[in-house]
Each structure stands twice: as structure tokens, then as C-alpha cells.
Structure 1
Amino acid sequence: MIFVLYAALGVFVGTLAGVFGVGGGLIVVPVLIFSFKMQGVSPDIITHLAVGTSLATIVVTAIGSIITHHRKGTVVWPIFIYLVPGTLLGATFGVFTGVSLKGETLQSALGLFSMLVSIKMWFGWKSVGSDKHMSKIIITVAGTVIGWVSSLFGIGGGSLNVPFLCRANVGMKHAIGTSAACSLPIAATGSLVNIIMGMGDSSLPEWSTGFVYWPAFLGIILTSVFFASIGAHLAHRFSADKLQKFFSVFLFLVGIQFLWQNFPSEW
């Protein structure tokens, strides 16, 4: 029954990855935490295991999404190249932060940030194309922050990457395609570091390697890869304005989720 839940989760994750250029971790992590509690996983490692497993699934989901977006010509590879060094560094430190600190306050801050960004996007950010020149330093620094936050919370980075690229005057569809490409190095680095740091933990459940739980990983990717391609095709059926509206609603819901999840622990 749990495996069926993981497979159903993959449908939503894959679709989100393709349509919005996100890894789906904002849905995966809370659901995995819930399922791990049902399975009796130690509370001390539940969050770490959920984050690490989420990042591992994003690696596979991102590949299917990238292929489709590349064929559509919506991945701005020059920007991607300058984002990658920062995302790799940030993703590494994000895992270390997650293991050493509690994330409730940071998640609440991210929730507020997501809601503010969604409101701004709803009323409109300029989206005039993908040929706007940006400072290489700004791109790399932004990539570091995006990578850090993403690996800390087990997400693909689209909820931060897409707004950043739109703010820099990258077209919405190109922002989504480029964000999808960036989610791969973030997730690959984050999942690898989570595996290494979780090795030898005696409280890990069976079929785990470090902080990656393989039954959940397999269940999710069985459906997510296929639906990531479908989601990417759907993204090209909407106008840039409608896509931006849809994404702003998605971000707002993400913000509410983070705030609601952490509200009881802070009062």
C-alpha cells in the first residue's frame, strides 16, 4: 500500500517538474515525512531521510524534464553554465546545514518569501526574452543561495530559480526550462552528500543507503519520469502570462504549506 502511495506521488511530482520547472520536493518531503512516521522510522532521522530521498528522485525527474525543454529550445545554457558552480557549492553546504541545525525557522522564512514572490509575480514581472545580459558574479551568487536553500529543504530550486530568472528579464518559458536544467546538479550533489553523511547511522530503516530510502525512490520515479515529459509539453501549450499566473498560485500555496507546517512548533 505504501508503494502505491509513492507511485501516485510520482505522478504529481513529475507533472510539477515539467510544467513549472521544479523538482516536486515541496510535495515529496511532507508526504515522505508522513509515510516514514507510519512506518515507524526514528524521529531523529525522518526529516533527513525525507530530504535525501526527495533529492534522489529529483535527479531522475529532472533528466526527463531537461530533455523535453532542451528539444523545445527553452534552456538558456549560457546562464545555466554560470549558475552551476554556485549551485554545487550551495547544495553541499545546504546538506551540512540541514544535518547540524533545525530547519523550522528557515522553512517559515522561505514560506513568507515564496508568498511575497508569488504576489509580485501575479501582478507582473517583466518577461521580455532570454537575451538580457546579467553579471556573471550575480548569477553565481544567486546559484549558491538557490543551491543552499534547495538542498536544505529537499527541493529542486524552481521556486527560487524561476522568480530570479524572471526578475532578470528572462522569458517565463526560458526561465522554467533553465530552472529544470539547474535542478539536476542541485539534486545530484545534495543526494550524494546526504548518502555520505548518513552512512553508518544505526537508526536507518532497511533498504536505505545513507539518507536515501530506496523503496520510496523507486516508487516515485516509476511514474514521475513519464509525467515530467507530459508536464513539459503542457507548459508549452500555455501563454507566458498564463504560465506566470499559474506559477504564482503554486508559489503562494507553497508558502502556506511551509508556514502551516511550522506554525504549531513556534507557538
Structure 2
Amino acid sequence: MDPSMILALLAMGAFGGFAAGLLGIGGGMIMVPFITMVLTARDVPEALVVHMAIATSLATIMFTSLSSVRAHHKHGAVVWRIVKLLSPGIVVGSMIGPWIGKQMNASTLAWFFGAFVAFSATQMLVNKKPAAARDLPGTAGMFGAGGLIGVLAGLVGAGGGFISVPFMTWCGVRIHNAVATSAALGFPIALAGTVANIFYGWGEPGLPEYSLGYIYVPALAIIVAASMTMAPLGARTAHRMPVRQLQKVFAVILYTLAAYMFWKAFQ
């Protein structure tokens, strides 16, 4: 891997890690398009590029989540009871999501990812918080909600924050607690999804050297080194300043990345 690619991955990891800590989004929506560019530059077969980008992004969230949740926990913001209730469904859903992705061709998966990112960017730009309409559901309802969060997160390689944060807010959880709890949920999402992506991608023809299933290990290692440094800074920033202006900037960046994935889908 040439030095320019290493620098690009380091910058990507730093930016994604900061976003994960700041907004509880796991960083995946930022990382997937950039990893797609890196793998395309390395002449990875087009049929595998998006699958590998999503899998590698999801694997990075295991480390980013641990780093950012530590900072949130110091502020007493993580609601661990919610983490325990959502995690079983999340684990199941996060193993199903990559299986669904495996059934899609690269163009369909790129289109789906682009649509999800564009929706998430719009949600961030509008910043319309759902009104607290009810309390948290019971055990079965939390399992179902966790399953849906896990399926979507595993499918697009993200930490699930754009689903879990509005859900928790709708159920009366304060926004700072929802963001912090979403960061904690990123770990079971990423762990289950990573195991699934290793299993589903094992022995796939055309995978580049140093791949573990669909996960490209060199990119994973470089991104993690940078993201774990920046995630705590993002989490501290979330507790020290209003993030509305930063949300607008991230929204514009997400629209740009969504446009790239749409272009990739129609190549």
C-alpha cells in the first residue's frame, strides 16, 4: 500500500472517529464511500468493492465504539439498561443484515447505501427530533426494535445511530443520553456484523491479499489507529458545545458521499 493511500486512510479514520464520538453515528456512513474509493484504486473486482467496504467499515466500529463510549460513560450519559434490552435483537439483526447484503449485487447495494446516507443527511440537516410519544416498550418490543436496528446497520456498515437515536428520543430518552447509548450499541452491532462478514465472505473468489472474509485488514488497521484517537475528542465535544453547525457540515458531506455511491451504482 503506497504512502498516499495510507495517509488517505488515516485522514478517513480520524474524520470518521470524530463523527462517531460527536454524533453517535458510528462513522460508517462516512467511511464506506472512502473505503470504496480505496479498494477501487487497488483494482479489487467491482463485484466485491462495496461488500468489502461495508464489511471493513463495520469492523472499525468495534474499536471506535469502545473508544467513544468510554468518554460518554465518564459523563454518566450511557443508559446501560437500554443497551442490555436492545442488544439481543441487535446481535440477531446484525448477523442477518450482512446475509441480505450478500444476496444483492454490487450496484444494488451501492444504490441502497446511497439512499440510506441521503436520508440520514436529510434527517441531520432538518434536525427534527421526534416528540417523546411513549415510554420504552417491553422486552419483546425492545428485541424487535433492536433487530430492525441491527439489520439496517449490518446491511449498510454503520453503527445504527440514525435509527437508534430517533427511536430512543421518541421513547422519551434525552438526546445526549440517546447519542451516548447509541455509541455503546455500536459494539454489539459491529461485533455480530463482523463475525457474519467473515463467515459469509470466507473463500469468496477474487478477494485481495490480507482479507479476512469480506474485511480488508490493512485498511481496518490504519483506520482504527486514527479513529480511536479522535472518537473520544468527538464525544467530549458533544458534551461541551452545541453541535448544530457541525451537523450541517456533516450533512453536506454525507450528501456528497451519497452522490458518489449513486454514481458507483450506475457505472
TM-score (norm 2): 0.88
In the superposition, relative to structure 1, how do residues 255 and 166 fare at CA in structure 2: closer, same or farther (>3 Å)? farther
Give, in whole Å, the separation in 2 of the partners of 1:200 and 1:160.
Answer: 33
Q: Is the 8 A contact 1:15 1:224 kept in 2?
A: yes
Matches within 5 A, 1:70-149: 70-101=73-104, 102-107=108-113, 109-111=115-117, 113-115=119-121, 117-118=123-124, 121-122=127-128, 124-126=129-131, 133-136=135-138, 137-149=140-152
Name the SS of the counterpart of 1:44 in structure 2.
helix
Q: Is the 8 A contact 2:29 2:117 kept in 1?
A: no
Q: Does residue 46 in structure 1 map to residue 49 in structure 2? A: yes
Q: Does residue 180 in structure 1 map to residue 176 in structure 2? A: no
The amino acid of 2:210's aligned partner reads W
In the superposition, relative to structure 1, how do residues 266 and 3 fare at CA in structure 2: closer, same or farther (>3 Å)? closer
The amino acid of 2:151's aligned partner reads W
Give, in whole Å, the separation in 2 of the partners of 1:160 and 1:255.
Answer: 18
Matches within 5 A, 1:113-262: 113-115=119-121, 117-118=123-124, 121-122=127-128, 124-126=129-131, 133-136=135-138, 137-238=140-241, 242-243=242-243, 246-247=246-247, 250=250, 254=254, 257-258=257-258, 261-262=261-262
In the superposition, relative to structure 1, how do residues 246 and 144 fare at CA in structure 2: closer, same or farther (>3 Å)? farther
Q: Which runs of 5+ in 2 are unaligned?
A: none
The amino acid of 2:76's aligned partner reads G
Q: Is the 8 A contact 2:50 2:109 kept in 1?
A: no
Give, in whole Å, the separation in 2 of the partners of 1:200 and 1:265.
Answer: 25
Give, in whole Å, the separation in 2 of the partners of 1:263 and 1:11.
Answer: 25
Q: CA offsets, 1:183-239, max 9 Å, x none? A: 10001111111011111123111111111111101111111111111111111102x
The amino acid of 2:29's aligned partner reads L
Give, in whole Å, the separation in 1 of the partners of 2:212 and 2:78.
Answer: 33
TM-score (norm 1): 0.88
Question: 1:87, CA displacement in angstroms?
Answer: 0.9
The amino acid of 2:15's aligned partner reads F
Report what 2:33 is aligned to: 30
User: How many aligned residue pairs are there?
Assistant: 260
Q: Is the 8 A contact 2:114 2:257 kept in 1?
A: no
Question: 1:17, CA displacement in angstroms?
Answer: 1.1
Give, in whole Å, the separation in 1 of the partners of 2:186 and 2:147.
Answer: 13
Question: 1:114, CA displacement in angstroms?
Answer: 2.5
Q: CA offsets, 1:120-151, max 9 Å, x none? A: 534x54479xxx73112333222111111111
Give, in whole Å, the separation in 1 of the partners of 2:221 and 2:145.
Answer: 32
Give, in whole Å, the separation in 1 of the partners of 2:115 and 2:126.
Answer: 17
Question: 1:260, CA displacement in angstroms?
Answer: 5.8
Give, in whole Å, the separation in 2 of the partners of 1:48 and 1:265.
Answer: 12
Give, in whole Å, the separation in 1 of the partners of 2:257 and 2:7.
Answer: 24
The amino acid of 1:110's aligned partner reads F
Q: Which runs of 5+ in 1 are unaligned?
A: none
Question: 1:42, CA displacement in angstroms?
Answer: 1.0
Give, in whole Å, the separation in 1 of the partners of 2:141 and 2:253.
Answer: 28
Give, in whole Å, the separation in 1 of the partners of 2:130 and 2:24.
Answer: 18
Question: 1:111, CA displacement in angstroms?
Answer: 4.3
Question: 1:48, CA displacement in angstroms?
Answer: 1.2
The amino acid of 1:231's aligned partner reads G
Report what 2:8 is aligned to: 5
Q: Is the 8 A contact 1:114 1:255 kept in 2?
A: no
